[in-house]
Structure 1
Amino acid sequence: MFLKRLLLAAMMIATPAMAQDPETRVAQGLLIGRSADGIDSFKGVPFATPPVGPLRWRPPVAPATWDGGRDASSVGAICIQAPANGDPGVGPGSPSEDCLTLNVWTPAERSGPLPVMVWIHGGGYNNGSGTPPLYDGTRLARRGVVVVTINYRLGRLGFFDHPALAAERTAGELAGNYGVMDQIAALQWVRANIAAFGGDPGQVTIFGESAGGAAVTQLMVAPAARGLFHRAVVQSGLGRQRSARLADDRPGRPSAQTLGVAFAQAVGLGRDATAQALRDLPAERLLGPMPAFYSENLVVDGQVVPEDVVEAFAAGRQAPVPLMIGTNSAEFWWIRPSEAGAYGRTDDAMTDAEYDALRAAYGGQEGYDAHVVSDLIFNEPARHLARLHARAGNPAFLYRFDVVPESNPEPSGGATHASERPYVFDNLDTVGRPMGDRDFWAATAMADYWTTFSRAGDPNGGQRPVWPEFGTAPDQLLEFTNEGPVAKPIPNAARLDLIERFYTRTRP
């Protein structure tokens, strides 16, 4: 018996105690997260009241409090959207209107307030979420930052208006850009609560890709977002788009209300649909036909987003924060300028002389067809915004991503749209195909540059190649290549100059 007790005592001494789940208290109550590999995570945290029933097409409302500990071990529902079709940026779970949640990753051991990085996902404002493994913040958090990923309302639930909704609004009530309002509400929640996770509310970086990149630029011109963030990163975030106005039609851009009337007619509610009838529609009825991001989901409502992004930047009215902005080398390689969609129509206003000059700059029709849409939508607009931001006296850093895995099956001739995401998050294991050493080196470099920027407002540091600042080194960028990052002049500048002259003529 004595020997058995001695052995039992030895086993108790040798066996470590089970780690306790991390807890933290926010304004709404106590959260119980999970800890793994030195990182604490808190998932599915509500930052607003579910926007359902009478709150559909209303500005977000602060979340309710709760009693006791709330389990924060798993992500919440993704926002209402069409099936994912394999997009790794969508995330698990079924769509729901009750989706306004966020996720936080923070080092378990930390000293002093840490920089905060808030990710805004892409997906054309129609799909995506902050919940997929692709956007897991663990590896970024290991670099000494707090990472937050958010959901926001999408499609017609997030970007929509109708005369019947306008008629019931009180004077001055915000409308149209409900998804952007959700992003602002999430940033307000971060400011109020991130210190509980070890984050510094005075050192917040917003970063996003595609529609998320466009969201970052919208937040840079949104009065209600001013002061909620202190650095900005735009990954393939357009820049020259002309948004739909809330109620006023303009040539080539029907207003949000005109588009809302057309949708109500398409689903059988007629021109005189009531606000109640619209709110009674099952969420799935709002999905089709899918609204076009470039011409329908981007809205200038006059209050949340007061003007087009490029107009605000040209006038110096954007947030005066350090900016990293860039594109991929083969963004929309599969879209041809002859196609009927909004992107394909971008060159329709060219004169014969402009078209001939550009075709020659691309080396002929084949080169023009393969690259002009990417240059019109992404590459020239990114250069333009970087120039405008630097001209206003703000730090600006331009990049080009051209890392292509050897296992890449796409005939893109470069890095396609959205392919930089797993590198930025250092989550190459989520790609689903073999990745080589050059990919892991590129992911390490990008994650290091991004987190250093969040800490200092400047991506430079350590032994990495120096990233030129656009104001002091005009038209110089950092290109991420298969051989590593390289500082160099902007590639293909001559054809971008021709596109700039085209935009100056058509959109002065």
Structure 2
Amino acid sequence: MSEPVPDPVELVRLENGAAQGVVSGDVVAFKGLPYAAPPVGERRWRPPAPAPDWDGVRDATDYGALCIQPPANGDPGVGPLPMSEDCLTLNVWAPVERDGPLPIMVWIHGGGYNNGSGTAALYDGSALSRRGVVVVTINYRLGRLGFFDHPALAVERPADEPAGNYGVMDQIAALEWVRDNISALGGDPGNVTIFGESAGGVAVTQLMVAPSACGLFHKAIVQSGLGRQRSAELALDRPGRPSAQSLGVAFARSAGLPADADAAQLRAVPAEVLLSPMPAFYSDNLIVDGIILPEDVVEAFAAGRQAPVPLILGTNSAEFWWIRPVDAGAYGRTDDALTEVEHDALLAAYGGPDGYDAHIVSDLIFNEPARHLTRLHAAAGYPTFLYRFDVVPESNPEPSGGATHASERPYVFDTLDTVGRPLGQRDQDAADAMAGYWTRFARAGDPNAPTAAIWPDVRAAPDRLLEFTNDGPVARPMPHAERLDLIESFYARVRPGG
């Protein structure tokens, strides 16, 4: 019996040493490449340091470990175990045949800054790469390892050292690695698109306002990335918003540490203690630290201080359809600041309590903030494209009435085989459309093509978007604009200036 023929390999020389990837058909993949030093021991809760060099040829044919996180509970955006604090790796897919440097697409996964990885089959970059781009997916520190501060840590660090936003610093370090290494893998470091979903979409907008990320990317795509979220400050407590350090003290106390715990004691806490999830997109993991993130995203956009790059931004038609406004939890009660007049006007706009309960949370958290950011970005003069995703498979088991949060991901990556239930030709057509728009945008900053439905630029058409439907993409006016107008007025009252 003959031995199986192994897949061919490809060797590249990177800044830290030689690496061997694996060729599968017309795509070569390099997996588990370290972009920073392991953030372990004394490097826990420190900015990422350069990855160490290695001798010989590194095997880059398999993924690295997940970053420390709670159980995935079936989330397809989380790759397989093992899990480790030593997790700052990335993965690259490139066409085998390359005629010159190719556009680069760097994916930042979602998961509420608590979960997720760049190693999930859902995010396999092969299909996108076949469209003529180099795809990069990354891991970054999550939860209390990625977003945390404590007075004891502040005492020991230099005054000019950034703190708190370690996960965002990791993302920047990964982009620096791309800048320095991607030419060896067929990419053009002068043509980088960052794209992400949910927390990854939040990350994209944060990178757009992070001074140290300036120049590391040239286009941006935000999928369901909020927009009006508010952050904690590093050390200053505000009414209703405790500082990151106050939250750190509370966590340390809950972990059994004494009130006067020092940095060494904090760093000695077993990683398992850090597994409990933090409230998603609350002040625990959104931090204005004054260096990496000087201000909240919406304030920077309102002042025109965001990255001057082409932007795609959009949401799904039934994002949080299962969350009612009275529900407690990570997002709290989302409508508790409405006046009685505002509440009554919105009830009428939604056609009564049932419509209000079904859609107000999604509109407050996703839809109106997305429209607001696109209008601000377009007003600053930059190419801006807004979308709405409303593709629902016939096999969808959820009574969502639309496309639920995160359901667009397998269409963007054209990885429908990872969904786990039958999908039809219209789903493949939708995947072809989305992957086509996304990769064209990465190539030229404009998603349009003569053979595709025209996607209007918000600069010229402020009230129009491209809707991905079961029957194909359609340019149309913003759905339910009257509801969003009322929410915009509410935000203007409670959050003037942004």
RMSD (Å) for aligned C-alpha atoms: 1.2
Which residue pairs with 2:231 in the alignment?
Answer: 243
The correspondence for 2:128, drawn from 117, 134, 140, is: 140
- Which position in structure 2 is the counterpart of 1:6? none
Q: 1:425 aligns with which of 398, 404, 413?
A: 413
Structure 1 position 287, deviation (Å)? 1.9
Structure 2 counterpart of 1:331: 319
Counterpart pick for 1:162 among 150, 154, 157: 150
Residue 342 of structure 1: how far off its partner (Å): 4.5
Correspondence for 1:86: 74
Aligned to 1:12: none
C-alpha distance in structure 2 between counterparts of 1:75 and 1:26, whole Å: 17
Whether 2:240 is the aligned partner of 1:252: answer yes
Cross-structure match for 1:98? 86
Asked whether the equivalents of residues 343 and 373 of structure 1 are also in contact (C-alpha less than 8 Å), the reply is: no
Looking at structure 1, the residues matched to 240 and 350 of structure 2 have their Cα atoms a distance apart, in angstroms, of: 28
**Does the 8 Å CA contact 1:155/1:291 hold for their aligned counterparts?**
no
Shift of 1:487: 0.1
Q: Is the 8 A contact 2:70 2:277 kept in 1?
A: no
Which of residues 345, 350, 367 is equivalent to 1:362?
350
What's the offset of the Cα at 1:473? 1.0
User: Cα offset for 1:21?
Assistant: 0.9
Task: Quote the residue 1:114 is aligned against.
Answer: 102
Q: Give the whole-Å Cα distance in 2 for the aligned partners of 1:20 and 1:427.
A: 23
Per the TM alignment, residue 95 of structure 1 is displaced from its structure 2 partner at its CA by 1.2
Give the structure 2 partner of residue 213 of structure 1: 201
- Radius of gyration: which is bigger? 1
Using the TM superposition, give the Cα deviation of residue 289 of structure 1 relative to its aligned residue in structure 2, in angstroms: 5.4
**1:226 and 1:319 in contact (8 A); partners too:** yes
Superposition pairs for residues 371-390 of structure 1, below 5 Å? 371-390=359-378
Q: Which amino acid aligns with 1:348?
A: D
Provide the secondary structure at the position in 2 that maps to 1:78: coil
Following the alignment from structure 1 to structure 2, what is the Cα–Cα distance between the partners of residues 252 and 321?
Answer: 34
AA aligned to 2:107 is: W
Give 1:343 shift.
2.5
User: Counterpart amino acid of 1:417?
Assistant: H
Question: Counterpart of 1:77 in structure 2: which amino acid?
Answer: A
Distance in 2 of aligned mates of 1:426 and 1:491: 26
Are positions 1:51 and 2:48 aligned together? no
Given residue 359 of structure 2, which amino acid in structure 1 is its aligned partner? H
1:451 equivalent to 2:448? Answer no
Q: Is 1:398 matched up with 2:386?
A: yes
1:191 aligns with 2:179: yes
CA distance in 1, matches of 2:277, 2:468: 38
**1:486-501 pair list within 5 angstroms:** 486-501=474-489
Whole-Å separation in 2 of the counterparts to 1:293 and 1:373 = 14
Residue type of the alignment partner of 1:59: P
- Scaled by the length of structure 1, the TM-score of the pair is 0.96
* Aligned mates of 2:109, 2:62 — CA distance in 1: 18
SS, match of residue 351 in structure 2: coil
2:9 is matched with which residue?
21
TM-score for both structures, normalised by structure 2: 0.98
The alignment partner of 1:310 has SS state of helix
Q: Is the 8 A contact 1:337 1:343 kept in 2?
A: no
Q: Per-residue deviation at 1:105?
A: 0.2
Contact 1:104/1:146 (<8 A) preserved: yes
Return the letter of the residue paired with 2:82.
S
Residue pair 1:336, 1:344 contacting (<8 A) in 2 also: no
One-letter amino acid of the counterpart of residue 381, structure 2: G
Superimposed CA distance per residue, residues 383-404 of structure 1 (whole angstroms, 9 cap, x where no aligned partner): 0000000000011000000000
For the 8 Å contact 1:156–1:291, the answer to whether it is kept is no
1:484 maps to 472
Q: Of 164, 181, 184, which residue of structure 1 is paired with 2:169? A: 181
Preserved contact between residue 320 and residue 405 of structure 2 (Cα < 8 Å): yes
Kept in 2: contact 1:344–1:373 (CA 8 A):
no
Mean CA deviation greater in 290-299 or 375-384: 290-299
Unaligned runs of 5+ in 1: 1-16
- CA–CA separation in structure 1 for the residues paired with 2:414 and 2:256: 47
1:309 aligns with one of 294, 297, 304? 297
Q: Could you list the per-position Cα deviations for residues 452-481 of structure 1 after superposition, in whole angstroms to 9, with x for gaps in the alignment? A: 000000000141100000001111100000
Deviates more, 1:320-329 or 1:458-467: 458-467
**Alpha-carbon distance in 2 for matches of 1:32, 1:275:** 39
Aligned-partner Cα distance in 2 for 1:343–1:96: 28
Taking the aligned partners of 2:166 and 2:6, their CA distance within structure 1 comes to 44
Percent same amino acid among aligned pairs? 74
**Which stretches of structure 1, 4 residues or longer, exceed 6 Å deviation after superposition?**
none
TM-superposed CA distance for 1:19, in Å, is 6.5
1:1-21 Cα offsets, whole Å, 9 max, x none, are xxxxxxxxxxxxxxxx97641
Give the aligned residue type for 1:24: V
